[in-house]
Amino acid sequence: MENVLLVTQKIDLGAWIVLLIFVPFFILFTLRAKSGARFPLRPIAAYKRLCELVSQAAESGHVIHVGMGSGGIGTPATPEALMGLTVFGYIARQAAQYNQATLGTTGDPTILTAAQGILQRARAEAGFPEQYSRRELQFYGPHPFAYAVGAFDSLRARPYLANVLLGHFGAEGLWLAEATSSKEMSRLGGVAPPTAAALMQSSLDETVIGEEVFAAGAYLDKPSHLGSLASQDLMRIIIILTILVGSILTSLGYLG
């Protein structure tokens, strides 16, 4: 029990091994996914609900709010921030095709600039570039709670069909989810880190947690992401086998 989470200086070898196994499979599976290969996915309730909500929004003209959280791009929180942007992009493209409004809020300025590009492109692709409005994307200062409070104020202005919170959130995710709980709208989303996920899980109607957050693209509208899911699954099996075999060998006295 002594070596729990020990951080050593000689981990470069392990990192190289993981990369050398992961990257080839990743490339192989991504190429296959791009050439049309499909495989069945385990259903995830939150993403299913999100797709339903997006079609409801298209029919009714109601707006879905996407909270993209406060993890900056350029920091190690980039992947989570990117997933918030992916969900926003999905909803923005749908809204743009039906020439409807959308609302994205973020607590980090770098996400704001990236989301502006996504929204502009979505509007242009749908043929209404002049419908792009900077006010559909709002930023409320880089402090998490200022973001939560500001986004809450935006949600007050009109009824929203759903409140989607996906990205990098801390305790402010609970703030935003609970403060809006008296309003009649679906609330769903998710975060990766366990500390925040525990709070979101107890507050939102549907949640994704941990690794599921990073699968948003594959479950929504990016089949090219299926390749990375397949490589993640393969890697997972390899890791489980490594841990099992390693533990058995250690117990028998062959290792460490």
Partner 1 sequence: MIVCPVCQHRNPEGAKTCEACGASLEGFFYRACPVCGALNPAEAVFCRRCLAELIPSEAPEEPLPPTEAEAPSEETASTAPPTEKEETPETTEEEITEEPSVEEEILPKPEHPPVPVPNPLEGLEELLPLEAAVALPHRAEPRQVHFPDETERRDAELFQQIATEPAPLREQARVLGTPRTRALSPIGRLILYILVLLIAIVPYFSGGFTASWITPREDVTTLLQSLNSLPQGATVLLAFDYDPAYAGEMNPLALDITRQLAQRSVHIVALSTQPAGIGLAEQVLRQLSDQVPAYRYGQSYAILGYLPGQEAGLRTLNSSLGDAFKEDYLQRRSLGELPVTRGLATLADFEQIILFADDETTVRRWIEQIQSRNPEIPLHALVTARIAPMLVPYRQSGQLSTLLPGTPGAIELEAAMGRRSFLTWTSDAYTALFFSLLFIAVISNVLYLSSTRRVR
Partner 2 sequence: MLETLANVMNALPAGTASTIGTWVAALLTLAVLSFIFGENPAFRLAEYLFVGIAAGYAGALAWTQVLWPRAKLFLANPQAYWYYGLFFALGLLLLTRGVRSLSTLGNLPLGVLFGTGAGLALGGALTGSLVPQIEASVVSLSPADYGQGLVGWAYAIDAFILLIGTIAVLSAFHFTGKGQGAWSGFWHGLLRILQGAGRGFIMVAFGALLAGATLSFFAALQSRLAFLLRDWIKLFGNMGL
Partner 3 sequence: MKKTLPLIVAILCGVLSLADFIIPNPQLDALGAVLVEGVTILAAFALLLGLLNILGTHVHRVATGEGSRGLSLSLILAMLITMAVGIAFPHSGTLRWIFRYLYVPLQSTMTALLAFFVVSAAYRAFRLRNIEALILLVTSLLVLFTQLPFVGAISPSLAIIRDWLMRVPVTAATRGLILGIALGTIATSLRILLAVDRPYTGE
* Close Cβ partners of 136 (under 8 Å, ≥ 6 residues apart): 101, 102, 103, 104, 119
Check residue 5 for interaction with partner 1 (CB under 8 A): yes
Residue from 100, 110, 116, 201 binding partner 1 (CB under 8 A): 100
Check residue 12 for interaction with partner 1 (CB under 8 A): no
User: For the stretch 58-84, what's the b/e string if a residue is b when 16 or more beta carbons lie within 10 angstroms of its beta carbon?
Assistant: eeeebbbbbbbbbbbbeeebeebbbbb
221 binds, among partner 2, partner 3, partner 1, none (CB under 5 to 8 A by kind): partner 1
203 binds, among partner 3, partner 2, partner 1, none (CB under 5 to 8 A by kind): partner 3
Q: Which residues in 96-125 contact partner 3 (CB under 8 A)?
A: 109-110, 112-114, 117-118, 120-122
Q: Which residues in 2-41 contact partner 3 (CB under 8 A)?
A: 4, 12, 15-16, 18-19, 22-23, 26-27, 30
* Nearest in space to 144 (alpha carbons), one of 115, 167, 161: 167
The CA-atom distances, in angstroms, between 108 and each of 53, 86, 160, 169 are 26, 16, 22, 11
Q: Which residues in 221-240 contact partner 1 (CB under 8 A)?
A: 221-224
Check residue 6 for interaction with partner 2 (CB under 8 A): yes
Encoded one letter per residue, x for contact with partner 2 by CB under 8 A and - for no contact, window 89-128 reads ---------------------x--xx-xx--x--------
Coil/strand/helix, residue 241: helix
165 binds, among partner 3, partner 2, partner 1, none (CB under 5 to 8 A by kind): none
> What is d(CA 49, CA 223) in angstroms, rounded to the nearest whole number?
18
> What is d(CA 148, CA 141) in angstroms, rounded to the nearest whole number?
10
What is the pairing mode between strands 206-209 and 186-191? parallel
Give me the half-sphere count of Cα atoms (radius 13 Å) on the Cβ side of residue 96.
23
> What is d(CA 32, CA 39) in angstroms, rounded to the nearest whole number?
11
- Smallest gap from Cβ 33 to partner 3, in A, equals 9
70 touches 176 (CB < 8 A) = no
To the nearest 10 degrees (0 to 180), the angle between helices 12-34 and 226-251 is 150
Which lies closer to partner 2 via its Cβ, residue 19 or residue 31? 19
Encoded one letter per residue, x for contact with partner 3 by CB under 8 A and - for no contact, window 197-236 reads x-x-xxx-----xxx-xxx-x----x-xx-xxx-xx--xx
Which lies closer to partner 1 via its Cβ, residue 156 or residue 252? 156
Site of interaction with partner 1 (CB under 8 A): 1-9, 34-36, 49, 56, 59-62, 75-76, 90, 97-101, 124-128, 130-131, 144-145, 157-162, 170-171, 181-182, 184-187, 193-195, 205-206, 220-224
